[in-house]
Structures are given as structure tokens and as C-alpha cells.
Amino acid sequence: MLSFRVRGKFVSFIGIKCDPISHVEKLFVDINRTAKEYNILIIALNAIHILNWRVLLKAVEHAIRAFERGVNISRKIPIEVMLYLSGKRQINEALSIFGLKPNITEIVVVLISEEVISEELINTIIKLFPNARISDNLLFPSQEKLQAIQELYDIREEELNASVIKGNELLEELIEKIILSRIALFECKK
């Protein structure tokens, strides 16, 4: 788990591996009930499309700021985070990319709270997922993610080459630069 302060809020990211989720709707009911009980925002995302925690942190920061400024597209911060991550203005597109689908086994959970996030809450959230275990390596790049993300964002060789500054950047660093630029551009296009 990684934790941060973002615009006065407490934000935590948890990578979770679990058994295949068969009833996504029931999971969302349980997530919403837990969010209300603890007065917290809980965002469950498809981990394969989250390059790393830095990209996720930037999307969360931009989404919170959009709500503070009244320039948000969606009515809910979790959806706004997905819009920033996807760089798309269409909520359905963002949901289809980052939302949970049946049989998913790798999830990144984002917690946003006005108060420090307790160990009790984290344990409660983990128990929502079948046979779940914390797997914070999901908050970092992998070969599988790099390939999936290049396809998702349609990142071509020319764009990667144009992103080289030092000459010795790793592929994951170049992709991160490109995605962070797209998150910033998304805010400008609103």
C-alpha cells in the first residue's frame, strides 16, 4: 500500500490479487456500502491499465482539483479519475477501460478520505474481494502492462522516440511521460 496527501485529502493505493470476480454488481454494492459506512471514496480499477502509482496519483490529483474548481465532467470523483486516466471525455469509454469486469483478478483500489485511512478499513476492503491478498507490485510497471498500455493509448514508436531526452530512458519512463502529458492535456481540453 502507498499513501499520500493530495490537496488536503488522504489517498492510498492498494494492489489486490484475488480469485476471479464473478459478481461485479454485488462487489460494487459492497464497495458502496463500505464507502458510506466509513465516509470514504473507494475506486476499484482494472490494474492492467494502470502503468504505475505516479500516473494514478496525477490522475487523482487532477480529478480532485477539477471538483474543487467546478470544472469536472462527471458527477463523481471515481469517474473523473477514470476520465483523466483514459484521456477520454466519454464516461462509457473510460469505464470500459478502467472499470471492473467479470473474472478480473488484478485490481488497484484507490481510497480517498478526509481522515487518515485506518488498518481496519484496509482489512475490510481487502475482504470484499474473493480470496484477496495485497500485491503492491500492481502499482509498478510490468512487461505485460507496458504492452497493454501501449496498445490502449495507441503509443507508437515515433511518439516514444520523440519523448527521449537523455537517451537512456527505459520504455516505462517514456510511456509514463507520454501518459502524464496526456493527463495534463486532458485538463486543458475541458
Tens digits of residue pLDDT in 86-100:
988 899 999 999 999
At 128-138, the pLDDT tens digits run: 999 999 999 99
pLDDT values of the chain reduced to their tens digit, one per residue, 190 residues = 899 999 999 999 999 999 999 999 999 999 999 999 999 999 999 999 999 999 999 999 999 999 999 999 999 999 999 999 998 889 999 999 999 999 999 999 999 999 999 999 999 999 999 999 999 999 999 999 999 999 988 888 888 888 777 777 788 888 998 888 888 888 766 5
- CB-neighbour burial class of residue 105 (10 A; exposed 0-12, middle 13-18, buried 19+): middle
State pTM to two decimals. 0.90
The full set of domain ranges for the chain reads 2-140
Tally of CA atoms within 13 A in the half-sphere of 129 that contains its CB: 26
Please say whether the beta carbons of 5 and 118 come within 8 A.
Answer: no
Beta carbons within 8 Å of 90's beta carbon, 6+ residues apart: none
How does DSSP classify residue 47?
G
Q: Give the CATH number of domain 2-140; options: 3.30.2380.10, 3.20.80.10, 3.40.50.300, 3.40.50.720.
A: 3.30.2380.10
Supply the DSSP symbol for 21: P
Contact 81, 64 (CB under 8 A): no
Collect all residues with Cβ–Cβ distance below 8 Å to 149 and sequence separation of at least 6: 49, 51, 155, 175, 179
**Neighbouring C-alpha atoms within 13 Å toward the C-beta of 53:** 18
